[in-house]
Structure 1
Amino acid sequence: MSDIGRRAGLPIATVYRIVGKLHSWGALERCPDGGCHICLRLWEKGVLAPRSELIEAARPHLAELCRRTSTVATLAVHDGGDSVCLLSLPGEAELQGVLMEAGRRLPLHATSSGLVLLAQASVSLQDEICDGPLHACTAATITDGAALRSCLAMVRRDGYAVVRGAFTEGRGGISAPVFGGDGAVVAPLGALRVTQLLSETRVAADAVTKRIRTETPRFTETGP
């Protein structure tokens, strides 16, 4: 409880009251050591969100991308200044890369998915990210606002983003946008040539876009 209070900036009495209500509702479960963890009730509510439809629309195409390239395939969306992983499917053997946990957040300016999402985001969000401090995750991270704006213009022009070592040294990714669902399909750079991986990734992203626009009309109003 004290950890929650410290991180939330709330008095311990308030934390006890809120946690008690969440526990009664089924959102939190108490652990034997006195801590808490998220419970099934939140997952039940989460699958009712529109994003769950985006996940199901993307799943078969990400699975095909995994099969054709033997790499991890990931679906991400943006939330504020972060990209958020919605779905990550494993590849095979030495090409599989790192399987990302659903819900993991990564900075927009330091990842291929983030650059694709930011390039298609509102001008106000682009200004906020480019004008704000840009944390250097590695020596390859873009930390200059003008350089980031130039990079975003190139991503919009080319329709994809390739990043090498900007978030984690020795690792990279390639991403293509999903239009109509505010998303991006991501595959890690590995032994495959960039041109081959780019082609497969864009095919997957285009297939997800088509499925969203034909089967999930609510997303067509949200833009890219």
Structure 2
Amino acid sequence: MTPEALMLFAAGFGTRMGALTADRPKPLVEVAGKPLIDHALALADPVVPGPIVANLHYRPEQLEQHLAATRVQTLREEPDILDTGGGLRNALPLLGDGPVWTMNSDAVWAGPNPLAMLKDAWRDGMEALLLCIPPAQAIGHKGQGDFVSDGSKVSRGPGLIFSGAQILRTDGLRDIPGDSFSLNLLWNDMLKRGTLHILTYPGQWCDVGHPEGITLAEEMLARHV
């Protein structure tokens, strides 16, 4: 079964952005003249045939107003933020029962459409397909990486960096206790079963998680015009 719906994570506080998020949510911070969430939607609109759902928590009314003229359905997480796993499970009534794309709203891409790449590589028997970035292509990212793959087996460890974009089967979410939890808990079970797979992105990617990331992302985009 191919994915039809997209979960767009947009509920974070953006604390690393400092003063830039004092009066607005991070997805409305601008890069190259348009809000971060619009960069994500430009990738989603031509690829995703079904619902697009964005979870909201910090200053949700601003994102509701910004997205009102789009096909995005918004879902407030109140009173508490639910993290990636809890947020995705909370949105399932809007997303449906099939596999879904998920994507962060605070990254900028230069290269092929990441959601289209995932769709083309998705196969029966996969429970998750994570799009990952080689460190040399992850602009401004200072972490050691998240996953290692030898082409057939995936494990955790320094190496490829998870981009925030993936296709995921959501069945296992119902078995995880608690309301707020990370998708890492679901991935752990998939890793044990060997059903989590990695796809390597050939372009560049910038996680705009701090103010310096804005300049880095704009420079990256300028190089790929």
Taking structure 2 as the reference length, the TM-score comes to 0.28
Higher helix share: 1
The TM-score normalised by the length of structure 1 is 0.28
| Structure with a larger share of its residues in strand | 2
| Higher RCO, 1 vs 2 (CA within 8 Å, ≥6 residues apart) | 2
